Amino acid sequence: MGTVVSPPVRLKDGARLYSVLHPAAKAIPGRRPVTVVLLHGWTLDNRLWRQQIADLPARLGAPVRLLAFDLRGHGRSSATRGSDATLEQLGDDLAEVIDQLVPRGPIVLVGHSLGGMAIMEYAHRYRARFARRVVGAVLISTSAEGSSRTSYGLSPRLARVMRVLEVQGAGLLARSGAWRPHRRLMPLLAPGVRWLVFGHRVDTSWVALTTSMVGNAPLCAIGGFRPSVDLHHRVESLASMRELPVAVLVGSMDRLTPPICAETIARELPDAELVVCADAGHMLPIERPDAVTDSIVSVIRRAARIRRSAHRDRHAVKGPREVSA
* Contact in structure between 120 and 268 (CB atoms under 8 Å): no
Residues 6+ away with beta carbon under 8 Å from 201: 279, 287
Task: Give the separation between CA 4 and CA 152, rounded to whole angstroms.
Answer: 38
At residue 167, what are phi and psi to the nearest 5 degrees? -65, -40
Domain with residues 4-311, CATH architecture: 3-Layer(aba) Sandwich (3.40)
CA 77, CA 217: separation in Å to the nearest integer?
10
Is the distance from CB of 120 to CB of 234 less than 8 angstroms? yes
136: β partners: 108
140's CB contacts (< 8 A; 6+ apart) are: 110, 111, 112, 113, 116, 248, 249, 250, 284, 285, 292
| Closest of 265, 257, 286, 277 to residue 142, by C-alpha | 257
**Which of helix, strand or coil describes residue 44?**
coil
Sign (positive/negative) of CA torsion 66, 44, 215, 199? negative
- Per-residue confidence in pLDDT tens, the chain, 325 aa: 555 666 789 999 999 999 999 988 776 665 789 999 999 999 999 999 999 999 999 999 999 999 999 999 999 998 887 688 899 999 999 999 999 999 999 999 999 999 999 999 999 999 999 999 999 999 999 999 988 777 767 666 666 656 565 665 555 555 555 657 677 888 888 998 999 999 999 999 999 999 999 998 888 787 888 888 888 999 998 999 999 999 999 999 999 999 999 999 999 999 999 999 999 999 999 999 999 999 999 999 999 998 777 656 665 545 443 332 2
The contacts of residue 305 (CB under 8 Å, 6+ apart) are none
d(CA 250, CA 274): 8
